Amino acid sequence: MSHRLASFKGPSTPSSSPVPKQTTKSPAASPSRAVESTYHRKTRAALLELRGLTEFWEDLVLLDGLKAARSLVDARTDLDNALALAPNRLPRQRIVAPKIELMEKRIAELDLVILKLQKQFRKMNAAVDGLEAVLIDAHRAKGCQWASEEPLWVTWSLEKFVTAIPALLPPYHRSLNSHIALVDTLRSHSVSFEDARDALAKWIEQPWLEDDGWEAAWEDLCTAEVDKCYDAGINAFDTANIYSNGLSEEVLGRALKKHSIPREEVVIMTKVYYGLSRDPNETLLNTDMEAKGYVNQYGLSRKHIFDSVKASLRRLQLDYVDVLQCHRFDDDTPIEETMNALHDVVKAGYVRYIGMSSCYAYQFHAMQNYAITNKLTPFISMQNHYNLLFGVGAIPWSPLARGAVTRPIEQQLKGAQTTRAETDFMPPTVYTQHISNRTVIERVEEIAAKHGAKMAQIGIAWMLAKEGVSAPIFGTTSLKNLFEAVDAIHIKLTAEEIKYLEEPYQPMPVLGIGARD
């Protein structure tokens, strides 16, 4: 729909006036102003109608569509697992019949969703037609001048006015534009249910982010994921000032506001250490910042800690964050200065607790010991690299080894990559180059088949079974992957399975400690 709006063309200059302009001064209440006001009201009403219809369409896709498609995939998986695991002595018809019946039920549910989508698109197209009619009438009225002065909006061509409309519909127009192929398929009267199902299934399998990097500003989809996380019982959200150069904090803050998520029911964690670039499309490491003039705008100095915390609160639209974590250890700032500054931001009410991330054990011990000895605020958490292939921690980052434990090792060795690995600064070979890790990945695949689960779910289930793990941090670019990750809480690994998964592990080099990691 935004595609139609943006491509609509109208005359760029007013038509000649059928009424000569008066030479006398116009009255205070000009009829042209009344016309302008009338069409502004009509345009606003049409935009609000279109926005409401668009929101409902988004709900159909994000809720009903994904749920129905996911249920169909689950039913097919149940059938495959039943055939693979059933004893050979059982008749295949006895195994297949109930599974096929369930799949037919799921297909009927998906067909119903597609019918709803088609009906909603007809309503949305009618709303677009109505909006275009209002704009055409408004443009024609521009030529009828009863007064010597012109309304301000007369100087706008219709093309300029129409192409500006998508900006009035954030964030919905972006997703509408991205789903144009799906839209065309569902709107076509010649498309069969089978083709429509295939189109929806292909669309669901695509990554949400359609940018060159994982940092794409798809706010509507990001906020939807925050809402679904909250509904699923996830109450801790971890971000950092450097993620997407501050955009991550902004989107999270707007998501909390948009969905009216109670502040007291969630834990918001952010980080301090890295600085931000003045260029929104550039992410700088600290080693690059001083050379570019960013003096005192990075690290764990008192100045940067206070400046960074206040900036994070502005982006998050919050009065405080629950946990402020030092993203890296600062070799250039005395521990005394850092720990006193962290204590002071807690006392000032900007922060409730402090934590550490990605440092050596002796560095953590030195900072924590100084805080305790001097009766300052101590760290309550440690966020380190931790997964089936790597190390120990409490708030683990990269619990799925950047996708390494979510795909069969044969695929990875042939060059197949996850969506994140295609743009990630850390190459996937950092995991798969180790023979012991390949064995671990093979065993994850084996256990997943045994449970009828995804490999990613086994990776998360293993982590949740480990003592001391508070909240594994995982990132996702689709609601489908989010739902699968949440389902991992229902998978309980036996002690034998955990031992079997961990047996090939060998100590790994440290990752994610230095300023460039």
Whether residue 271 contacts residue 325, with contact meaning beta carbons closer than 8 Å, is answered with yes
Helix (H) or strand (E) holding 455: helix 455-464
Q: Which of 214, 236, 211, 213 is nearest to 226 (CA)?
A: 236
Angle at 352 between CA 349 and CA 357, to 5 degrees: 125
**Residue 454 · residue 482 · CB < 8 Å:** no
CA 209 to CA 217: how far, in whole Å? 8
Integer Cα distance of 186 and 197 in angstroms: 9
Cα–Cα distance for residue pair 267/352, rounded to 1 Å: 10
List the structure tokens of 110.
């998906």
User: Any idea what DSSP says for residue 127?
Assistant: H
According to DSSP, the residues that pair with 325 across neighbouring strands are 271, 355
* Cα–Cα distance for residue pair 413/438, rounded to 1 Å: 10
Decide if 350 is catalytic: no
Distance CA 198, CA 299 (A): 51
* Paired residues of 321 in beta bridges: 351
Burial of 273 (0-12, 13-18, 19+ CB in 10 A): buried
Q: Which residues of 382-420 are buried (b: 16+ CB within 10 A; e: fewer)?
A: bbbbbbbbbeebbbbbbbbbbbbbbbebeebeeeebbbb
Tell me how far apart the alpha carbons of residues 174 and 221 are, in angstroms, rounded to a whole number. 10
Taking each helix axis from N to C end, the angle separating 66-85 and 92-142, rounded to the nearest 10 degrees, works out to: 160
Task: Name which of 180, 254, 265 is nearest 221 in CA terms.
Answer: 254
CB 351 within 8 A of CB 320: yes
Other Cβ atoms less than 10 A from the Cβ of 310: the count is 12
The residue from 243, 298, 350, 386 that is catalytic is: 243
Rounded Cα–Cα distance for residues 328 and 510 (Å): 14
Please give the DSSP secondary-structure letter assigned to residue 150: P
The partner residues of 267 in beta bridges, in order of sequence, read 236
Q: Which two tokens stand for residue 248?
A: 């991550």
Residues classed as catalytic: 243
